[in-house]
Structure 1
Amino acid sequence: MKVILFCQNNYAFGILEPIKEVLVASNDDFIWFIKEPIYNDFPFKSDKHTTKLSELKAYNSDVIFVPGNEVPHYLRGLKTQIFHGLAGEKKGHFRIRHYFDLYLTQGPYFTNKFNELKIIHKNFDVIETGWPKLDIYGKDKSTYASYKAELLKTHNAKKIVLYAPTFSPKLTSGPYLVNQIKQLANNHKDYIILLKFHPLMAQEWLDVYKDLAKITPNIIFQEEKNIIKFLLVADLLVSDTSSVIYEFILLDKPVITFKSISENINWENSNDYDALEMLVKTNLETDPFSKSRAYLNEQFHPYNDGKSAERMVATVRAYTKTNGVPEKRNISFFRRLKIYSIFGKS
């Protein structure tokens, strides 16, 4: 089987890496496609990879795994949407753009909604597999235990708080929590505050928080692209309306959000940015929402065996064996124009 691992944004690397490992183990052929603006961040340069669509056309793939919203319709291969997050309430998550033949969903919440849309559109299939980015949860949650222990020891701290807001201007808490995070760090030297921002966060706010970290010893601005490391070591997450919330809740740890628009809030959500310090203290000490997290785990990602990537590869292998490999995807004139504007013509 010949597979394209399709990356438009650098968050795709951590999602696709477990699939790559399965492909290596099964001796399948694969190539990474990396858009040029993110090439410097690409961590697997020893793997076969390209930034050129012409090379993908010549590659003649059987399957294309895409953790993003678009893929060129003119490429050969089963165009497979595997998603870049778990935030179903975000604008566009359930929008059918008609670029994909197959949707591999993370859990019943997503599967049910896409199956409803399948009945309407009749031009794609839906199969539930789990999400490969979270395979590490089922394999070894203690992967970064030594890193956490060293971090706490170095800073003489007891707890790690992760601040990971969304980038969307309408949803992000970034502009409103600068002073509150500074106060939290200054008043609680036993906390380490890790700052992990979305790659698309506005540069002005990245600069503000970088400057804050430079002058505050127990605030650390993290440049590393894969957030999983920081989810595993953190004791509490602060966010807003971001899919990272669900990734963290699946670890059965407390979350605080500000002005979240989620339909499934089973954590501490507040409209008062000034309440940050008090809410962090309360949730670390008493974890008042511990019992209500079970629903989200069951609906959003009930797989804890660490084998979602294996299921994805097995699923597309069986699907193409039964249905064949699509030579291209038939889409509307408007959609073709959009693909040409993003990727160029075939």
Structure 2
Amino acid sequence: MHKYLFFVAQNYSYAILRPLQQAIKERGDEVVWFLYGNQINTDYLLPDEKRLFTVEEVIAYHPDASFVPGNMIPSFISGLKVSVFHGFNVGKLNGRGKNDHFNIRGCFDLYCTQGPNTTIRFQQLAEKYGYFNVVETGWPALDPLYSKQITHRQNTSLDTDNEKPTILMCSTFSRNLTCAPHLYEEIKKLSQNDQWRWLVQFHPKMPDSIVSQYKALQNENLTFIETDNVLPLLQQADVMLCDTSSVMLMFILQNKPVVTFKNISPGAHLIDFSQAEELEQHLNYALKRPPELMEEIQRFVEELHPYQDSQSSQRVLDAVEAELKKTNRTRKKKPLNLLRNFKMRKELNYWKF
């Protein structure tokens, strides 16, 4: 029996890892959660999900592998370190002008990639650095989406029998990328007529001032939703309105149109615009699902995430089990990563060596 650890700091981790948890249990293996930091709501943990409360407990647990939907995990935790990603590559750049999705931080032994358009680059990086491996598995978070399961903590107050076209608005928190403040007046106006149903859901780091603005818009046509699992919303909506948040790529994988406001790298698969007053016409165009647009979406999906069999969690576990069986996994050893490990020790308040 394998022992696995979920190492998480954000609420979105619940929806990403629960399909993987189900697959682990189906194999007769064991998994525990370690939640840290002040940005994760521990109330979202279910009664039957086992949690470790201290780093000492994690060390004593001695996991065979840890799954991380974030960027960091300290080296003093035993076992294989597996990156399962917290979203798709949307081309966001870090402070040094580099694509943050491909930032190698020296923490992971295995990257389980989502599709060809990221696998190829990670394979190149694996060849360059020599201390981690890459396996294309698909993304566990999407297993329920393709199996059409309505997953945990669906907002049951939503009117799922509403026959009006549904627009799901999602937005990132980044001041330079968010569409929320720029489209507020247009959405306020459009939500006051009865042609569409609006669902609004923001990144958990969205400023409180903007959240309050949109909560105040709620009426019979617009519902603001706070949730640890966006999948039910993706399933209900006909069109998404977004900016450069990676959640738009989760939505487009259903072969549904996405309208974006000032996307940083718009392609033919998106309906992008830059003038707020044009919002209504672009949403109407998206709802018509024009054939030329739908063909572009299909081509994009095949590169982004071709796996629609709800088996990505199983492929991740297959990749991990294969890695655990290897005697010599990589050409080189991971770097000592002293600065990042010091920062993690400080954050976790763990100073034993």
Q: Provide TM-score, normalisation by structure 2.
A: 0.89
- Deviation string for 1:116-167 (max 9, x for gaps)? 11122111111100001111233226889x99997254x6x51110001111
Which residue number corresponds to residue 31 of structure 2? Answer: 30
Instruction: Verify: 1:105 aligned to 2:113, yes or no.
Output: yes
Counterpart residue number, 2:179: 173
Distance 1:334 1:249, change over 3 A: same
In structure 1, what is the Cα distance between the partners aligned to 2:313 and 2:206?
A: 28
Distance 2:224 2:104 in 1: 36
Aligned residue number for residue 46 of structure 2: 44
- How far is 1:247 from its partner? 0.7
Cα distance change, pair 331–264 in 1 and its aligned pair in 2 (3 A) = farther
Partner residue, 1:162 = 168
Query: Shift of the alpha carbon at 1:322?
Result: 1.6
Distance 1:238 1:323 in 2: 48
Moved over 6 A (4+): 141-144, 146-150
**Deviation digits for residues 179-227 of structure 1, max 9, x if unmatched?**
111111123x1311001111111111111111111xx321101122200
Aligned-partner residue type, residue 338 of structure 1: K
Q: Which moved more, 1:59-68 or 1:334-343?
A: 334-343
**Correspondence for 1:87:** 89
Tell whether the 8 Å contact from 2:268 to 2:293 is kept in structure 1 after alignment: no
The aligned residue for residue 311 of structure 1 is 315
CA distance in 2, matches of 1:6, 1:14: 14
Q: Cα distance, 1:32 vs. partner?
A: 0.6
CA apart distance, 1:324: 7.4
**Structure 1 pair 76–263 and aligned structure 2 pair: CA distance change class (3 A):** farther
2:249 maps to which residue?
Answer: 246
For the pair 1:61 / 2:66, whether they are aligned, the reply is: no
For 1:204, the equivalent position in structure 2 comes to 209
- Alpha carbons 1:107, 1:301 under 8 Å: kept: yes
- Identity, in percent, stands at 34
The CA distance in 1 between the partners of 2:155 and 2:45, in whole Å, is 20
Q: 1:250 to 1:59 in 2, by over 3 A?
A: same
Deviations 1:308-345 (A, max 9, x none): 0011111101110124799x964232222222233333
Secondary structure in 2 matching 1:168: coil
Query: Which residue number corresponds to residue 263 of structure 2?
Result: 260
Q: For residues 235 and 28 of structure 1, what CA distance do their matches in structure 2 show?
A: 38
- Structure 2 residues not aligned, in runs of 5+: 94-99
Q: Decide which of 264, 289, 300 is 1:296's aligned counterpart.
A: 300
* Structure 2 residue 244 is matched with structure 1 residue 236: no
Would the alpha carbon gap of residues 264 and 285 (structure 1) be closer, same or farther in structure 2, given more than 3 Å must change? Answer: closer
Change beyond 3 A, Cα 1:168–1:323: farther
Change (3 A) 1:94 1:263: farther
Alpha-carbon spacing, 1:33–1:129, altered in 2? closer, same or farther (3 Å):
same
Residue 183 (structure 1) aligned to one of 189, 206, 226: 189
Quote the Cα distance in structure 2 between the aligned partners of 1:250 and 1:282.
19
Change (3 A) 1:286 1:139: closer
Structure-1-length-normalised TM-score:
0.91
| Aligned-partner SS, 2:67 | strand
- Alpha-carbon offset, residue 43 of structure 1: 3.0
1:275 aligned residue:
278
CA contact (8 A) 2:266 2:272 kept: no
Structure 2 match to 1:14: 15
Matched, 1:334 2:335: no
Once residues 265 and 169 of structure 2 are traced to their aligned partners in structure 1, the CA distance between those partners, rounded to angstroms, is 18
8 Å Cα contact 1:89/1:263 also seen in 2: no
The question of whether the paired residues in 2 share the 8 Å contact of 1:73 and 1:339 is answered with: no
Amino acid at match of 2:254: L
Secondary structure at the counterpart of residue 93 of structure 1: helix
Deviation at 1:87, TM superposition (A): 2.5
- What residue in structure 2 maps to residue 343 of structure 1? 348
For the pair 1:195 / 2:200, whether they are aligned, the reply is yes
Give the aligned partner of residue 129 of structure 2: 121
Structure 1 pair 279/3, CA: closer, same or farther in 2 (3 Å)?
Answer: same
Is the 1:141–1:232 Cα contact (8 Å) retained in structure 2? no
Instruction: Tell me the C-alpha RMSD between the 2 structures.
Output: 2.4
